[in-house]
């Protein structure tokens, strides 16, 4: 589960619906307006949070684990089409594959694909 701070909930819901190809439900939770991403059956679950106060919301780095490099590539392509501020196609190592995009609020969203490793360390 992940949390992404947003400045404009409607703009961010539209952006992330395009990126993740998923419906996001908008609700009021206490004094915050929230967008709920996914449900109990989804592999992708998180929230977009618009704080009630007028204080600036700092940008964050968020890590979201995805199921495959193909899914990561699709999300990165969708992010570009939805207006992401910047993207990286990913860098691969023996253990992980990671790509990122900067969303419309300046958050850096890292997409991580974990890979099994065959390296064994004997102590």
Kindly state whether residue 47 falls inside one of the protein's structural domains.
Answer: yes
* Cα 116 from Cα 6, distance rounded (Å): 34
What is the maximum alpha-carbon separation in the chain? 54
pLDDT digits (tens, 9 = 90+) for 6-36: 989 999 999 999 999 988 988 887 777 778 8
Q: Per-residue confidence at 82, pLDDT binned at 50, 70, 90?
A: very high
H/E element, 17: helix 9-20
Q: How many independent structural domains does the chain possess?
A: 1
Tokens of 21: 């190809």
Query: Model-level pTM?
Result: 0.80
Q: Per-residue confidence at 44, pLDDT binned at 50, 70, 90?
A: confident
Let me know how long the chain is.
123
Kindly state whether residue 123 falls inside one of the protein's structural domains.
Answer: no
Q: What is the CATH number of the domain that holds 59?
A: 3.10.180.10
Q: Pick 109 or 54 by higher pLDDT.
A: 109
> What is the sign of the dihedral through the CA atoms of 6, 10, 11 and 17?
positive
Domain housing 58: 2-114
């Amino acid at each position: 589960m992940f949390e992404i701070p947003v400045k404009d909930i409607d703009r961010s819901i539209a952006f992330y619906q395009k990126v993740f190809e998923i419906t996001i439900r908008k609700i009021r939770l206490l004094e915050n307006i929230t967008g709920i991403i996914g449900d109990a059956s989804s592999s992708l679950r998180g929230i977009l949070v618009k704080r009630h106060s007028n204080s600036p919301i700092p940008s964050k780095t968020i890590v979201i684990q995805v199921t495959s490099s193909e899914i990561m590539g699709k999300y990165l392509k969708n992010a570009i089409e939805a207006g992401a501020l910047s993207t990286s196609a990913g860098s691969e190592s023996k253990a992980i594959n990671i790509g990122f995009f900067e969303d419309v609020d300046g958050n850096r969203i890292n997409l991580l694909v974990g890979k099994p490793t065959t390296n064994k360390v004997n102590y």
